Structure 1
Amino acid sequence: MEDLSVPHPSRTPKALGLAVTAALSLTLAAPAAPAAAAPDPDPVPALVAGRETAAPQLVTGLAERAEGTPAAAALAQLAAHPERYRIDPGQLTEVGTERTADGRHTVRFQQYHGGVPVLGAQYLVRLTGAGADQRVESAGGKYFTGLTAPTTAAVPDAMLRGLALGSLADPRARSGATAEDHGLVVLPGGTGRLARHFTVRSSTRRPDGRPTTREVYVDATVGGIALAHDARAPYPAGTRAATVGVPATGTATDAYGRRVQVNTTRLPDGSHQLVDRTRPATITTYDAAGRDLVDFVGGLPADLRPAASPTADFPAATGTGGATDAHLNAGLVYDFYRDRLGREGLDGKGAPIVSLVNMTNDGEPIINASWDGSMMTYGGGGPKYHSFAVALDIAGHEMTHGVIDHTAALVNAGQSGAMNEALADYFGNAVEVTARGMAMTDPKAALLGEAVCRTGTPESCAGRRLDDRRTTVDDYLGTDSSLDQGGVHLNSTIFSGALWDLRRTLDPLTADRLVYRALAEYLTPLDDFVDGRDAVLAAGRSMNLSRAQLRTVAAAFDAHGIRAGWESRLGTDSRALVRAIPTSMAAPAVAGGRWVMGNATGTGDPALYTGSTAGPGTPTRLSPQDGRRHSWAATDGRSAAWLAVGPDAEGKFGMEVLTRPLAGGPVRSLLASRTEQLGEVRISGGDIAFLAEDFATGRTVIRLSRDGAAPVELPLPDGHRPSGLTLKDGLLGWTERWTTGQQERSAATVRSLATGRVTARYESAGSISSTLLAGGRLLWTETPAGPTARSAIRSGALDGSGVTDLLPADSPYAAATPTLTASDQAVTFRTTGSRPADGWTNAALPKLWQLPITGGTPVRVSCNRGGQYEAAADRGTRVLWLDATPGRTDLVVREHPAGHC
């Protein structure tokens, strides 16, 4: 159901001829010298270097003899050429060998580090021939050199599980949630990062009705969430007993009311079930008959049987609920993969194929479909929609996710996730066009899901269209993982559009086999768009495509902007300080021209670093190299204070507040605790403040250290919960919340550290957040009660004498709960972003705005088109932030606002 739930940013095709012509002219343009003087360039790279590794991403053009079984020959090839591959064969374990009908073999190896698997690290070796004629044709994939991460967890298993469950932000989702432990894994990048992998499931539903299901990777050395993304397995099918009976046929009504023939199994009592045994892969279709989706969270209920009829003539409900179409379409998709591509079922080995139709969400039809990791599920539609099982392209899409899971296993996040969706789109449409005998020029050929509407045109009904002509440079939506897993659906047609162009320019059968070979024999889980381009071109070479055909392939990718270095052509107006940083626990702090941040090397290093805003330069490590994670930092431009999380000197898990001058010197500890959750560290001169929450009681207090003294607890009224600390020039501010009767209240508070007295307190019946001391005032955002309320940005005198609205709640620039940062001259706020009615666009992603500290009309900080996150104000109008525009997350800076974009 996740596949069609994100409205696409554009469904209007661009000028096809102009795009393709421009790409061809770019690829084939002759140099200034006579054309005969320059050889025709080879569009297939012989070698593609790896990134963050010495091992190559791709080596092609080989023809080296290899003896033994394919697996043994492949491993011997890697061992015999250490200078070429830079791979230790001892770290590889075979995870599967694909054999094609023409005798080719692709051996897929998984990399292990000290016996622990490395996420997404797969290396493939492709061989042709047999016996004395066996040859290695090419090799490549992801193998990460330089890994030194520990292989033994330092954090107790129970705490890791608790952290995984705690990754569910909604407390209601955590209630009754489960965390299935998959063991340790090393996350690649730099020296690597040891994590424990959990699948977290909750019965709490998302807006589209699905149970919350996440793949969560918890740092096993220091705690904290290292990686999390949506899972594809909310309804594990489990093992079911085989239906006892004999193959038969019957008739049933489809969603359009037509009587059609269906393959069935006749049971001993003469009744029939939708169980098709005419193929090596048994096809079974279940009808939930309106049961709620929560009944299926733990798997198919024990009392659920395949859709059935007392006779060979199935009732009309079999069609209206979608069972008939799901059953027929599963067979058509199976036949496409077997007859056209030589694949025996979704797993390549003829495993059973299961479909489930007609679940409901609180009694309402589900308007979506999904592959859940073990079976297809189709929503039952409703007044405006047929069952989603009616659309053959949707069935092909969902079943292709099953094929991908058993081949490249592309990770469902960012560009790899977008390619996962793109390949499912491509083959879903290819199945429908082939089975229905449609011409590639048919306007409906490129539409996905156009058949599900009861009303409306196919164009308005389609969830996506593969001919929307989107490109990386013009249309890539730069978002972090908080939206659509980094744009897996939103960016998919950039890649699927290139593939669909191939199907329109090459022979369709050739194109289908080419794309399938790239999927099954070249792609690996963490590949991006450019890796996908290289995989398709390399597959073309192995298929002996002509030079002209390979140029056509390259031109199709060029037309969609999928070529090396496309990220640098997006026209950003900010200056990058650190490129491609992991976003987990990475939020910059800045003051006096110096920034401080964890994860600041682009490698996942758990250390804390500092650098100059004049950078980029080389960041300087601040934290000790002690195996703990150092992050959550603050700085006043002279020193930094931060948290260290992980095992202490006695090997016990705990948290510690540390501080050090930016120019160097000893690291000093302020407080270490094994019983408290520490956070919100702030520093100003000799003052350091932070929050401490007792694990046992849940009580949160403010602790303050002055001039190196031991931290002391500051008094707060009973029942008041502090948050949002701000510290500057001997003043401490915070937000506090409490309950009076049945009413929640909040206040923005200022305390003088010299006198110990509260000097200002601004109460509200609404919600106060983002308290900041800047420009001799206390700033905060205030949101009145109400689901559609916008927030005002307010400024209060430090003596409590009055409030000024810097940005009223009724301003056209006001947003819901904006996040603030400020210097003494300017206030910068981030809008949260909201989805337009016609789908997400870059313009709708979170953006930074700035206005004078005294108020005024906001202007854009940057015209970068993608998402802008975690802003930190320096002096004047300078702002640093994490920017996702270029298909990755960079730490960037601007000295002055861009103005109006």
Structure 2
Amino acid sequence: MHHRTSRPKALGLGLTTFLALALVAPPALAAASAPAADADPVPGLVAGEDTATPQLVTGLAEAAPGNPADAARAHLAAHRDRYRVDPGQLTAIATDRTDDGGHTVRFQQDRGGIPVLGAQYLVHLTGDGAQQRVESVGGKYFTGLTAPTRPTIPAETLRNLALSSIEDEHARAGASAEDRGLVILPGGTGQLAQHFTVHSTTPAAGGRLVREVYVDATVGAIALAGAAAPYTVGADTGTGPTTPSDTGIEPATGTAPDAFGHSTKVNIGRLPDGSYQLTDLTRPAAITTYDAAGRDWGDFQGRIPADSHPVRSPSPDFPAATGSSGATDAQLDAAIVYDFYHDRLGRNGLDGKDGPITSVVDVTDGGDPFPNAYWDGQKMVYGGGGPQYNPFSVALDVAGHEMTHGVIQHTANLVGFGQAGAMNEALADYFGNAIEVTARGMSMNDPKAALLGESRCRTGTPEACAQRRLDDHRTTVNDYLGAGIGLDSGGAHLNSTIFSGALWDIRRTLDPLTADRLVYRALADYLTPMDDFVDGRNAVLAAGRALHLSRAQLRAVAGAFDAHGIQAGWQHRLGMDSRTLLSDASAPSAPAVADGHWVMADADPTGKAQPALYTGSTTGRGAPTRLSPDDGRVHGWAATDGTSAAWLAVGTDAQGRWGMEVLTRSLAGGPIRSLFNSTGTTREPGEVAISGNDIAFKVTDSATGRTRIHLSHGGGPAVELPLSDGHRMSGLTLKDGNLGWTESWASGQDYVDAATVYSIPAGKVTAQYVADAPGGSSPDAITSTLLAGGRLLWVETPGDRTKRSSVRSGALDGSGVTDVLPGTSPDAPPAGTAVTITASDLAVTYGGESRKPADGWTNAALPKLWQLPITGGTPERVSCNRGGQYQAAADQGTRVLWLDATPGRTDLVTRDRPAAGC
């Protein structure tokens, strides 16, 4: 049996937290040849990615007597040449007893006492006492970390920067930032970051917003940021439920109706005043259910409000409302889940320590039905359903899925993005369905066994109602959705059935109990927070060897993963038609491109410095070269004209003063010139543009919010342009002596949007094209201004969101507008979606956000790039790559560069001309 010792939350990441980690992407995998038929399916050695430490070493039998944690540490210390691990950077966070009497010791890597995101290293021991042996070692440990461990930016500045990640100023005004502590972000030398969970409940944010933000604590720039999923929370805040033993409750039995009115026996608690509540004290883990009675789910976000109490009744026979709210089902489901993990897998509750299991039912979303359920880091929260849905606690597989997130949180703690996020969901799917199938006595061949959530709906067939099905036969090469991190946290749900399908096939092939023990052993003792699909495969196979599965059984397990394409190097078999310029790019923004050269921020390939600015050829000739200095600051947000670049440097100077600086340098090297430095002021620069000897940038006064444009003309000092007060400027574009931008200003209750041209030689505005329809309360009518082909181009979105956006072109002297792509064209993007354009003097390329199709996301529905002549015409696909295509930048002629998410990571890629026959 597994006896879980004390396990603190290693990184403070709730399992329903979905991060947008721009600097940490799933690593590329080496191609693998097909193994021989009699080959051992369990790998003996798996090398680590971007680290000298191996990912997995199996087949060991080395003596390690003594206390398991001490013995594991001593083993690592004695074999530094093998593992390249510094035991001084390891903290033992769990020592778990395994079914065969051995132990797994889970270490968290830290630097100066600060945890490293996703870095856990595990040692597996068999036997006991003098017979104890190390059988395998593995996980994630990052070598070469030299990041500082003390912040140099004031705490309040870091908090304000976290809040600034919310672009909408109305939503930002009503936001709060909860400090989650310091963390080291891995990659290269690492980054010291302050982690915040940002909350906003302002309607302008489009409803509630939960965002995980990591702010570089020595530079003062946002390193990672991303919105959480709509119905999840990422923080454990507030007061948790009261432990029943502290309140004088005595065990009792009673009856309660379920959601369908059927009376059932329930274990309850008798209060000192003679009343009763839904608290089951018959198990070591107390099980309690609260009724939100229609209160908003946000009131229960990571806490139990002080005025909320467990479901109560004056007698042991609970009333009908206990069933209609879903409370009875939630209480019974929690008991079933506990029994499954305890009796079948030897786990003592969700946290492994028999901590209380708490559910909240009948929450709403602003008074509307809440059609979902989630684990918030300490409890279950269920929607009450509504006209279309039963209370969500009715679905045992959904309850098992969400409570399994609690188990995952206290074991592998898989993060919620990319392939690790997809495995997080896959494991929750697997155990949710396994719990239901086992409790209901269903056959694995039952058509409903592989369906998740088929009982949620009041109407419709189980197949139509199911949220996912684990036998959909999806594979990596055929079906992996190349979603960018902004969509479903990089496909966490969209790609989950690729992995859960393999696990479900294993359960159909092996004895179900053996399969459950195998998958649980992999989760509890082999997986680490940022593992990918192939790491997951290796973890399951290693767990199989530890459980003494036969060679034939291990081959069957490997065959299930093979059938779903989960093999080393699967990304190389996707058939991409683009040329890769930079693999696994970590750029937080689009590349800057002009005249055969690109400039973009990326992690230092030597691993010796902060992320820096690099430049390279758009044809792929030669290796990228570093453009920015190694001065401890973050360099990025660049612009280029193909000869020189201008960019922002953010961080502390040699005197330890924080600030932002505008720099420029020739792409061929040479001296770096400073144009603006914000040190000691409230003025912060941004949005740089360059053309020849002209450089423009926006300056925002952080105290007043006032934005202005500064211009360095002919290599001279930057001066502020005399523009209208009260106007907001963004989207700078500069070319051949003309400067363009998007401008908005208040007019009564609405905003007016315009695309503006400023002639630098004339020193005045020469054209201003006002949007046909007012932008309304959000100034979004005109976006993506761009100078190309001797004209100003922009995207114009009509106020009527049922129509389509236009790509428009205006003369530089204001003499007229033409439509490059009219909104009446069926090829025009739908209004209400974010559209960006890029252009050479010959062609316009557009792309951006896509709307979710009614039948769900597919690769075909992910954002794609389209190109047409700058004078207008029929758009053509730029690339047939099936995944998401983002942040395009035009070069000469029809050549385009972009960030492509097709291969399960983000690459900088290019094509010279549109693709044919997609």
Identify the TM-score tier after normalising by the shorter chain. over 0.9
**Residue range with higher mean Cα deviation, 452-461 or 789-798:** 789-798
Q: Structure 1 residue 442: deviation in Å?
A: 0.0
Structure 1 residues 208 and 238: CA distance shift in structure 2, 3 A:
farther
| 1:537 alignment partner in structure 2 | 541
Q: Distance in 2 between the 1:359 and 1:240 partners?
A: 20
Mapped pair 1:724 → 2:731 = yes
Partner SS for 1:459:
helix
Structure 1 residues 710-743: Cα deviation after superposition (integer angstroms, max 9, x where no partner): 1011111232222221111111122221223334
Partner SS for 1:173:
helix
Structure 1 residues 290-325: Cα deviation after superposition (integer angstroms, max 9, x where no partner): 222233246212122111111111111111110101
**1:134-149 counterparts in 2 under 5 A?**
134-149=132-147
2:592 to 589, 605, 628: 589
Mapped pair 1:93 → 2:91 = yes
| 1:646 alignment partner in structure 2 | 651
Q: Structure 1 residue 169: deviation in Å?
A: 3.2
**1:820-839 counterparts in 2 under 5 A?**
820-839=837-856
Mapped pair 1:869 → 2:876 = no
Please give the TM-score of this superposition, normalised by the length of structure 1: 0.94
Structure 1 residues 49-96: Cα deviation after superposition (integer angstroms, max 9, x where no partner): 000000000011111110220000000110111111011111111111
| 2:30 alignment partner in structure 1 | none
Letter in 2 for 1:92: L
Structure 1 residues 237 and 228: CA distance shift in structure 2, 3 A:
farther
| 2:797 alignment partner in structure 1 | 783
Q: Structure 1 residue 900: deviation in Å?
A: 4.2
Partner SS for 2:414:
coil
Is the Cα–Cα contact under 8 Å of residues 110 and 123 in structure 1 kept in the other structure?
Answer: yes
Q: Distance in 2 between the 1:4 and 1:729 partners?
A: 50
Partner SS for 1:558:
helix
Q: Structure 1 residue 530: deviation in Å?
A: 0.5
Letter in 1 for 2:859: N
2:640 to 614, 635, 638: 635
Q: Distance in 2 between the 1:697 and 1:181 partners?
A: 25
Q: Distance in 2 between the 1:208 and 1:308 partners?
A: 36
Letter in 2 for 1:857: T
Mapped pair 1:287 → 2:284 = no
1:773 to 767, 787, 808: 787
| 1:306 alignment partner in structure 2 | 310
Q: Structure 1 residue 192: deviation in Å?
A: 1.0
Q: Structure 1 residue 103: deviation in Å?
A: 1.6
Letter in 1 for 2:885: Q
Q: Structure 1 residue 269: deviation in Å?
A: 2.9
Partner SS for 2:762:
coil
| 1:21 alignment partner in structure 2 | none
| 1:666 alignment partner in structure 2 | 671
Partner SS for 1:289:
coil
Q: Distance in 2 between the 1:27 and 1:147 partners?
A: 35
Structure 1 residues 849 and 615: CA distance shift in structure 2, 3 A:
same
1:819 to 824, 827, 836: 836
Letter in 1 for 2:42: V
| 1:851 alignment partner in structure 2 | 868
Q: Structure 1 residue 601: deviation in Å?
A: 5.0
Is the Cα–Cα contact under 8 Å of residues 235 and 372 in structure 1 kept in the other structure?
Answer: no
| 2:492 alignment partner in structure 1 | 488
Q: Distance in 2 between the 1:240 and 1:177 partners?
A: 29
Q: Structure 1 residue 825: deviation in Å?
A: 0.7
Is the Cα–Cα contact under 8 Å of residues 746 and 752 in structure 2 kept in the other structure?
Answer: yes
Structure 1 residues 668-693: Cα deviation after superposition (integer angstroms, max 9, x where no partner): 11111132121111111111011111
Q: Distance in 2 between the 1:175 and 1:635 partners?
A: 34
Letter in 1 for 2:639: A
| 2:22 alignment partner in structure 1 | none
Mapped pair 1:759 → 2:773 = no
Q: Structure 1 residue 154: deviation in Å?
A: 2.4
Q: Distance in 2 between the 1:203 and 1:180 partners?
A: 14
**Residue range with higher mean Cα deviation, 345-354 or 594-603:** 594-603
| 2:683 alignment partner in structure 1 | 676
Please give the TM-score of this superposition, normalised by the length of structure 2: 0.92
| 1:213 alignment partner in structure 2 | 210
Partner SS for 1:525:
coil
2:751 to 740, 744, 750: 744
Q: Structure 1 residue 860: deviation in Å?
A: 0.5
- Between Structure 1 and Structure 2, how many residues are aligned? 870
| 1:34 alignment partner in structure 2 | none
| 2:8 alignment partner in structure 1 | none
Is the Cα–Cα contact under 8 Å of residues 117 and 186 in structure 2 kept in the other structure?
Answer: yes
**1:288-687 counterparts in 2 under 5 A?**
288-297=292-301, 299-583=303-587, 585-599=588-602, 605-615=610-620, 617-674=622-679, 675-687=682-694
Is the Cα–Cα contact under 8 Å of residues 248 and 264 in structure 1 kept in the other structure?
Answer: yes
| 2:275 alignment partner in structure 1 | 271
Letter in 2 for 1:684: S
Structure 1 residues 410 and 616: CA distance shift in structure 2, 3 A:
farther
| 2:28 alignment partner in structure 1 | none
**Residue range with higher mean Cα deviation, 737-746 or 571-580:** 737-746
**Residue range with higher mean Cα deviation, 192-201 or 529-538:** 192-201
| 2:165 alignment partner in structure 1 | 167
Structure 1 residues 134-162: Cα deviation after superposition (integer angstroms, max 9, x where no partner): 11111100000011222222222111111
Q: Structure 1 residue 797: deviation in Å?
A: 1.6
Q: Distance in 2 between the 1:204 and 1:102 partners?
A: 53
Structure 1 residues 334 and 743: CA distance shift in structure 2, 3 A:
closer
Letter in 1 for 2:747: T
Q: Distance in 2 between the 1:182 and 1:759 partners?
A: 50
Structure 1 residues 268-306: Cα deviation after superposition (integer angstroms, max 9, x where no partner): 332211100101001011111222223324621212211
Structure 1 residues 208 and 513: CA distance shift in structure 2, 3 A:
farther
Is the Cα–Cα contact under 8 Å of residues 3 and 369 in structure 1 kept in the other structure?
Answer: no
Is the Cα–Cα contact under 8 Å of residues 235 and 300 in structure 1 kept in the other structure?
Answer: no
Q: Structure 1 residue 227: deviation in Å?
A: 1.9
Q: Distance in 2 between the 1:840 and 1:73 partners?
A: 49
Q: Structure 1 residue 586: deviation in Å?
A: 3.3
Partner SS for 2:337:
helix
| 2:24 alignment partner in structure 1 | none
| 2:806 alignment partner in structure 1 | 792
Partner SS for 1:150:
coil
Q: Distance in 1 between the 2:444 and 2:16 partners?
A: 23
Partner SS for 1:747:
strand
Partner SS for 1:691:
strand
Q: Distance in 1 between the 2:277 and 2:748 partners?
A: 60
Q: Structure 1 residue 760: deviation in Å?
A: 2.3
Is the Cα–Cα contact under 8 Å of residues 5 and 368 in structure 1 kept in the other structure?
Answer: no
Q: Structure 1 residue 362: deviation in Å?
A: 2.4
Q: Structure 1 residue 481: deviation in Å?
A: 1.5
Is the Cα–Cα contact under 8 Å of residues 108 and 124 in structure 1 kept in the other structure?
Answer: yes
Structure 1 residues 895 and 667: CA distance shift in structure 2, 3 A:
same
Q: Structure 1 residue 239: deviation in Å?
A: 4.8
